[in-house]
Amino acid sequence: MITSVHNPLVKEIAALREPKARKETGLAVIDGAREIQSALAAGIKIEKVIYCKNSGTCTHSVRVPEFGCSQIEVNAKVFEKIAYGQRNDGVIAVAQVSLKQPGDLKLSANPLVVVIESVEKPGNLGAVLRTCDGAGVEALFICDPKTDLFNPNVIRASMGTVFTVPVAMSTSEDIRTFLKQKGIKVLGTFPQAKDMYSLANLKGPLAIVLGAEDQGLGPFWQKHCDLKVKIPMNGLADSLNVSVSAAIIVYESLRQRT
C-alpha cells in the first residue's frame, strides 16, 4: 500500500492532470469504475489501477488482471491527492491514449458524423460525445480545439463515451477536405436560415457542424455549409447550448434514417 503523497507514482499521476504531461507521455488518468470499464470495453490499454478501500463507496469492482494491469492500493490521504472532484468510487486508472487524424477513421457509405469547432468547455465536449454515442454517430471531428480531449471533465461529462466514440482532431481545412473527399454534405445551424431543421433532408452522408459556445460557427464553416437550417428560438435567448443543438439535429437525422 502506498501511504505517502511524496511517492513517485503519486507525483506521476498528479502531473497527468495537466495537458502538457498527457501529450508528452500519451497517458491519461481515468476517474471512476464506470469510465474505466468503458475504456476497457473500447480496447484502451490500462497500465495500472489505483484504488482506496477507505474512500467513499469503493468496492474495487474494476478487475483487469487479464490485461496485465497492476493494481495498487493507496490510503485515503494519497487517494484524495490524486483523485479528481467529488466522486467516491475510490478507483482511478492510468491509461494509454492517443489522438487520431481524420484519415485514421473508417466510415460507412452513408455516415452521420458531427464536427465541433473550437470547443472550449470540457463539459460541453463531454455532453456532445454522449449524444454521439447515444445516437450511434459514426465519428466526431474536433477542429481547432481549445480543450484537451482527455481532460478529466470531458471524460466525466461523457460518461466514458470519449473512449467509445471514434474521434479525430485536425484543422478546419483538413476536416473539410476529408469530408469533401468522402462526399459528405455539411450542415450548419443559423438563426437567420430559411429552412427549419425538421424539414431538411438529413438522410444522406451528413456532417453536422457545431460552432464555438460563444460565437457560433466561424467564417470558414459558414462559407462551406452545403445546408443551412434553423432551430426555432421563441424566448429571450438567441441560441442553445452547443450540446443541446447537437442532440436536436442528430436525433432528427436519426429519426429520418430509421
The neighbour count for residue 112, using CB atoms within 10 Å, is: 26
Question: Rounded CA gap, 148 and 146, in Å?
Answer: 7
Model pTM above 0.85: yes
Enumerate domains of the chain plus CATH numbers: 8-96 (3.30.1330.30), 102-257 (3.40.1280.10)
How far apart CA 19 and CA 153 sit, in angstroms, is 12
43: nearest Cα among 100, 90, 89, 95? 95
Candidates 223, 229, 174, 190; CA nearest to 206 is: 229
Give the model's pLDDT for residue 170. 96
CA distances from 192 to 202, 213, 238, 253 (A): 19, 18, 11, 21
Task: Specify the pLDDT at position 58.
Answer: 53
239: left (phi over 0), alpha (psi -120 to 50) or beta: beta
Q: In angstroms, what CA-CA distances link 122 with 13, 80, 178, 191, 230?
A: 20, 22, 25, 25, 25
Cα-to-chain-centroid distance, residue 43: 16
The size of the chain, in residues, is 258
Confidence of residue 167 (pLDDT cuts 50, 70, 90): very high
Share of the chain above pLDDT 90, in %: 74
248 burial type by CB count under 10 A (0-12 exposed, 13-18 middle, 19+ buried): middle
Grouping H, G, I as helix, E, B as strand and the rest as coil, residue 26 is: coil
- Over the stretch 47-94, which tens digit does the pLDDT of each residue have? 999 988 876 555 555 554 444 578 899 998 999 899 987 666 788 999
